[in-house]
């Protein structure tokens, strides 16, 4: 293989990886939002209750693993269910095409008549579509049932969700782990808040790419919602600590 072909192969491989990442970007972003918000809420509640760093680490990692796993399982099962649902309806359409061809052909005719086709052109469209069974069924799935096939892997969906949840969820706990190994500061919650705010900004930036909305708006929404959850948790922890003291 010459250098030119090797370069093209490398570029193609990198492009394929990038496309794959973009396919799962939504799951990566929403997993990150849940991971950072819920873990920071645990940290904030613990700080409000005045709990020791070791307790914060225990509660934080328990949440990180349990909630992250639960979310990844939910994502896996949801994606698998969508794929199974699609295949079930597709099997029904194949049966109908095999056993009720005239009825299904008439449905194709009605679909394209509603799109503005008529006369000889309409009949040509119907004949072209129904000449190939696979194409016929694909059109019925899309036009009649309005269903699109889920192409993402259920296992990959679950894995990306858990990875993102754990990665971003670690941020609020990072300073507590560092301090536990080698004491660095007495303002752990303040430092955790700053790190988490930066994490929210990064997630908000990525979220804007998924939702095609303003970067500023996405970042602001993520900061406000994450901050609101943390504030609520902090004062609940503070109230319960005083109530039970």
86, 127, 211 from 132: Cα distances, Å: 20, 9, 37
Model-level pTM? 0.79
- Which residues, other chains included, contact 80 with Cβ-Cβ below 8 Å and sequence gap of 6+? 154
Torsion of CA 181, 183, 187, 188, to 10 degrees: 0
What single DSSP character describes residue 140? I
**What backbone torsions phi and psi does residue 153 show, to the nearest 5 degrees?**
-75, 130
pLDDT in tens, 124-168: 999 999 999 999 999 999 998 888 888 888 999 999 999 999 999
Tens-place pLDDT, residues 83-98: 999 999 999 999 999 9
In a domain, 10, yes or no: no
Which residue's entry shows tokens 């990306």? 160
Task: Measure the CA dihedral 199/204/209/214, to 10°.
Answer: -150
Within a domain: residue 83? yes
Chain centre distance of CA 45: 26
The Cα–Cα gap between 164 and 219 comes to: 18
144-164 b/e (C-beta count within 10 Å ≥ 16 → b) = eeebeebebbbebbbbbbbbb
Host domain of residue 152: 30-244
Given this model, what pLDDT does residue 2 score?
Answer: 55
Domain membership of residue 195 (yes or no) is yes
Number of structural domains, the chain? 1
**The predicted structure's pLDDT at residue 20:** 60
Q: Is residue 25 part of a domain?
A: no
Q: What integer pLDDT is reported at residue 11 of this predicted model?
A: 45
Is residue 9 domain-resident? no
The CA angle 232-166-27, to the nearest 5 degrees, is 90
Place of tokens 């970007």: 25
> For residues 210 and 155, what is the distance between their CA atoms, to the nearest angstrom?
21
Q: Could you list the mean pLDDT of each consecutive 10-residue stretch along the chain, which spans 245 residues?
A: 50 50 82 92 90 91 93 93 94 94 93 91 93 93 89 91 94 93 87 93 88 88 89 86 78
> Residue 18 domain-assigned?
no
Is the residue at 150 inside a domain? yes
Question: Does residue 19 form part of some domain?
Answer: no
């Amino acid at each position: 293989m010459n250098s030119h072909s090797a370069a093209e192969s490398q570029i193609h491989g990198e492009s394929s990886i990038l496309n794959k990442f973009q396919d799962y970007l939504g799951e990566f972003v929403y997993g990150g939002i849940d991971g950072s918000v819920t873990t920071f809420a645990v940290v904030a509640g613990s700080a409000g209750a005045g709990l020791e760093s070791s307790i914060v680490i225990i509660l934080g990692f328990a949440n990180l693993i349990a909630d992250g796993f639960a979310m990844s399982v939910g994502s896996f099962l949801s994606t698998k269910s969508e794929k199974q649902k699609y295949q079930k309806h597709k099997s029904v359409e194949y049966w109908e095409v095999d056993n009720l061809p005239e009825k299904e052909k008439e449905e194709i005719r009605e679909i394209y008549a509603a799109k503005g086709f008529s006369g000889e052109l309409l009949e040509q469209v119907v004949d072209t579509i129904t000449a190939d069974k696979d194409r016929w069924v694909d059109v019925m799935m899309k036009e009649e049932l309005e269903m699109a096939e889920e192409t993402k892997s259920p296992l990959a969906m679950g894995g990306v969700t858990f990875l993102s949840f754990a990665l971003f969820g670690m941020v609020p706990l990072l300073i507590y782990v560092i301090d536990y190994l080698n004491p660095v500061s007495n303002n752990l919650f303040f430092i955790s808040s700053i790190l988490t705010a930066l994490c929210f900004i990064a997630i908000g930036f990525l979220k804007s790419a998924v939702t095609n909305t303003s970067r500023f708006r996405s970042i602001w929404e993520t900061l406000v919602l994450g901050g609101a959850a943390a504030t609520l948790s902090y004062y609940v922890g503070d109230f319960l600590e005083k109530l039970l003291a």
